[in-house]
Amino acid sequence: MQNKEEKLIIQGGNALKGEVNISGAKNAVLKLMAASLLSNDICVIKNVPELSDVEIMIEVLSELGAVIDYNKLDGILTIDSRNITSVVASDIFVSKMRASFVVLGPLVGRMREACVAMPGGCQIGERRVNFHIKGLQAMGCQCDIKDGYVYAVAKELKGAEICFDIPSVGATENIMMASVLADGVTVIQNAAQEPEIVDLANFLNAMGAKIEGAGTNQITVHGVTLSDLHGVEHTTIPDRIEAGTYMSAVIATMGHAFIKNIYPNHLTIFTGKLLEMGAQIKLVEPHIIEVSADRRLSPMNFITQPYPGFPTDLQALAMTLLSVANGISVVTESLYENRFMHINELWRMGANIKQSNNHAIIKGVDYLVGTEVTCTDLRAGAALVVAALAAKGESTVKALRHIDRGYEKFTTKLQGLGADIMRVPVDYQQEDVLAQELTQL
C-alpha cells in the first residue's frame, strides 16, 4: 500500500473505453477473515483485493495470534487460527476501520470472551453497536462498555431468538458468527440481506457450520462444536460497489466498456435506475455486462435503503451523474446522516445542489469544471474521481487514503480504460508557495 501522501491529477473529458475486471468484495473478504477465527484449522481465502482495509484486518488478526500469509500477486490469503493467544483487539487498529469490529462475534463464539475496541472508519454518520451487544446479551453474554472497549464474557452461550429494530449488516454478521458455536438454535429476525452476508454464510457452512436463510430477513443457525469446524478454501464474491463505480465512470464520460467478473443480480436496483436515466446496459455473459451512454442523462429520484434497495455506498456516485443530468433530481439518504459531505466538493466543480436535512435537490448543469477537491470518505472519494473524469479541464483529488481503503489498483484500472489520470506525491513546499502567492493577489 501507499505510505506517503499522494494526490490524483486528472484531465477530464476522455470517454472511457475498453474492459475492466472487478476485484473481490471488500465488505465480504473482511468478514471472511474474521470468520476464520472460528476454525481451529487453516483457512484459505481467494480473490482477496489489495486494500489498506485488508492490511488493517491482517494486523487485527495477527494481534490475536493468527498466523497469516498474504500472496498479493495471486490474491490469496492463508489464515492459521489454531493458536489464538489473545482476545483483545486493540484501539490501534480497530479504531481505523469499523469492519474489524466483527471479530467480536467469532471471539465470543470460540473463546467465550472478547475485548474489542469501539469501531472507527469513515465518518459518514452514527453507526451504533447496541444491536451487536443486545444480540450477544440475548445469548447469555455479559457485555460492558468501558474506556472505549466492549468487554464480553459468556460462561454459557446459548441459542436465542433475536430481532433487530432495523436490519444491521455488522450486527447480523457478528451474531451469526457467535451463534455458530452456541448451544442450540439461534434465529435472527429482520436480518440484513446483503450478498456479502450470503458469502459469509457460504464460507461458514463450508467450514462445517449449519446456517439457513442467509439472504432473507430470517437467518437460522444451528449451533455446532469446535470439533465440527474445519479449514476451508473459499473464493470471495466480486465487489458490487466497485462494479457500480466503474459503471458510473463509463456513463459519466459518455464511454463504452465491458465490466467483467460481476454478479449482475447484486446490482439490480442500481442498474434499473441507470437504465431509467438513459444509460445502455446489456448482459453479454453471465458475469460480463456492456455499459455505454451516448446522450445526456435524464433526472431521477431515489432513496437509499438496506439491500435489496438502492445502496447507500453508490449514492455519491449517482449524485455525480445527476449533477449533469437534464433536469431536477431528488436524492434522499435514509441510512447515514453525514453522507452528503461530498456535496461541498461537487459545488466546487460547479454542481447545483441544495441540501435540506437528508434530502439533496440536484439541478443538472451542462458540465462540471475541473478544480481541486478532497475526498471526505471512501465512496465520496470515488464519486469525486468520476466527476473529475467527466469535467472540463484539470482536477486534483486529494486525501487518497479514503479511496485506498476500498479500491484495488484504482488508478491503473482507470488508465486501462483510457483515463488521463496520474497519481503523484503531494509537494507541500510547492503548495505553500502557491498559497502565499494567491494571498498576495
Going by C-alpha positions, the residue among 194, 190, 224 that lies closest to residue 206 is 224
Domain containing 256: what range?
A: 6-23+238-439
Claim to verify: residue 191 and residue 249 sit in the same structural domain: no
Residue 30 maps to a domain: yes
Residue 122 known to be catalytic? yes
Residue 357 has pLDDT above 60, yes or no: yes
| Mean per-residue pLDDT, 150-165 | 96
DSSP string, 127-169: --SHHHHHHHHHTT-EEEEETTEEEEE-SS-B--EEE-SS--H
| Mean per-residue pLDDT, 322-333 | 98
Claim to verify: residue 92 and residue 212 sit in the same structural domain: yes
Claim to verify: residue 200 and residue 303 sit in the same structural domain: no
Claim to verify: residue 281 and residue 251 sit in the same structural domain: yes
C-alpha–C-alpha distance, residues 385 and 214, integer Å: 34
Residue 372 has pLDDT above 60, yes or no: yes
Claim to verify: residue 317 and residue 409 sit in the same structural domain: yes
Claim to verify: residue 371 and residue 428 sit in the same structural domain: yes
In this prediction the pTM is 0.94
User: How many domains is the chain partitioned into structurally?
Assistant: 2
Residue 165 maps to a domain: yes
Residue 232 maps to a domain: no
Claim to verify: residue 345 and residue 244 sit in the same structural domain: yes
The burial class, CB within 10 Å (0-12 / 13-18 / 19+), for 367 is middle
Residue 369 has pLDDT above 90, yes or no: yes
| Mean per-residue pLDDT, 111-120 | 90
CB 362 within 8 A of CB 331: yes
The single residue of 43, 122, 141, 143 carrying the catalytic annotation is 122
Residue 125 pLDDT: 40
Q: Pick from 224, 253, 273: which residue ends a domain?
A: 224
Residue 127 has pLDDT above 90, yes or no: no
Residue 233 maps to a domain: no
